[in-house]
Amino acid sequence: MDPAMCGGRPCVRGMRIRVSDVIDLLAAGLTPEQVVEELPDLEPDDVRACLMFASRRLNHPTLVA
Protein backbone atom coordinates (compact mmCIF):
# COMPACT_ATOMS: atom_id res chain seq x y z
CA MET A 1 0.00 0.00 0.00
CA ASP A 2 1.31 3.39 -0.98
CA PRO A 3 -0.62 6.51 0.09
CA ALA A 4 0.45 8.23 -3.13
CA MET A 5 -0.96 5.50 -5.36
CA CYS A 6 -4.61 4.50 -5.84
CA GLY A 7 -5.66 6.48 -2.79
CA GLY A 8 -3.64 4.20 -0.51
CA ARG A 9 -5.63 1.12 -1.48
CA PRO A 10 -3.71 -2.17 -1.76
CA CYS A 11 -2.18 -2.65 -5.21
CA VAL A 12 -0.46 -5.53 -6.94
CA ARG A 13 3.36 -5.32 -7.00
CA GLY A 14 3.40 -1.52 -7.07
CA MET A 15 1.31 -1.38 -10.25
CA ARG A 16 -1.87 0.64 -10.46
CA ILE A 17 -3.98 -2.51 -10.36
CA ARG A 18 -5.89 -2.65 -7.11
CA VAL A 19 -6.42 -5.89 -5.25
CA SER A 20 -10.13 -5.03 -5.19
CA ASP A 21 -10.17 -4.86 -9.01
CA VAL A 22 -8.86 -8.41 -9.22
CA ILE A 23 -11.31 -9.66 -6.58
CA ASP A 24 -14.20 -7.90 -8.35
CA LEU A 25 -13.34 -9.63 -11.64
CA LEU A 26 -13.24 -13.01 -9.90
CA ALA A 27 -16.54 -12.27 -8.17
CA ALA A 28 -18.06 -11.39 -11.55
CA GLY A 29 -17.31 -14.93 -12.67
CA LEU A 30 -14.02 -14.61 -14.52
CA THR A 31 -11.53 -17.40 -14.07
CA PRO A 32 -8.02 -16.54 -12.89
CA GLU A 33 -6.84 -17.14 -16.46
CA GLN A 34 -9.40 -14.67 -17.78
CA VAL A 35 -8.33 -12.09 -15.20
CA VAL A 36 -4.75 -12.39 -16.47
CA GLU A 37 -6.04 -11.96 -20.04
CA GLU A 38 -8.07 -8.91 -18.97
CA LEU A 39 -5.13 -7.41 -17.07
CA PRO A 40 -2.07 -8.60 -19.02
CA ASP A 41 0.45 -7.03 -16.62
CA LEU A 42 -0.64 -9.60 -14.03
CA GLU A 43 0.73 -13.09 -13.60
CA PRO A 44 -1.22 -16.06 -12.25
CA ASP A 45 0.66 -15.77 -8.94
CA ASP A 46 -0.62 -12.19 -8.63
CA VAL A 47 -4.22 -13.41 -8.73
CA ARG A 48 -3.49 -15.99 -6.05
CA ALA A 49 -1.73 -13.34 -3.96
CA CYS A 50 -4.81 -11.09 -4.19
CA LEU A 51 -7.01 -13.90 -2.91
CA MET A 52 -4.61 -14.64 -0.08
CA PHE A 53 -4.41 -10.93 0.83
CA ALA A 54 -8.21 -10.64 0.93
CA SER A 55 -8.53 -13.80 3.00
CA ARG A 56 -5.99 -12.62 5.55
CA ARG A 57 -7.61 -9.18 5.79
CA LEU A 58 -10.95 -10.79 6.60
CA ASN A 59 -9.63 -13.46 8.93
CA HIS A 60 -8.92 -11.52 12.08
CA PRO A 61 -10.44 -11.81 15.53
CA THR A 62 -13.04 -9.30 16.60
CA LEU A 63 -13.16 -8.41 20.27
CA VAL A 64 -16.61 -8.26 21.74
CA ALA A 65 -17.14 -6.40 25.00
The answer to whether residue 64 sits within a structural domain is no
* pLDDT value of position 55: 92
The answer to whether residue 30 sits within a structural domain is yes
Q: Which domain holds residue 54?
A: 6-58
The answer to whether residue 34 sits within a structural domain is yes
* pLDDT value of position 50: 96
Instruction: Categorise residue 7: left if φ over 0, alpha if ψ from -120 to 50, beta otherwise.
Output: left
The answer to whether residue 38 sits within a structural domain is yes
The answer to whether residue 46 sits within a structural domain is yes
The answer to whether residue 19 sits within a structural domain is yes
Q: Per-residue pLDDT tens for 1-59?
A: 666 677 677 789 888 899 999 999 999 999 999 999 999 999 999 999 999 999 988 88
pTM: 0.82
DSSP letter assigned to residue 40: T
Return the number of other C-beta atoms located less than 10 Å from residue 21's C-beta.
Answer: 19
* pLDDT value of position 13: 86
The answer to whether residue 24 sits within a structural domain is yes
Q: How many domains does the chain have?
A: 1
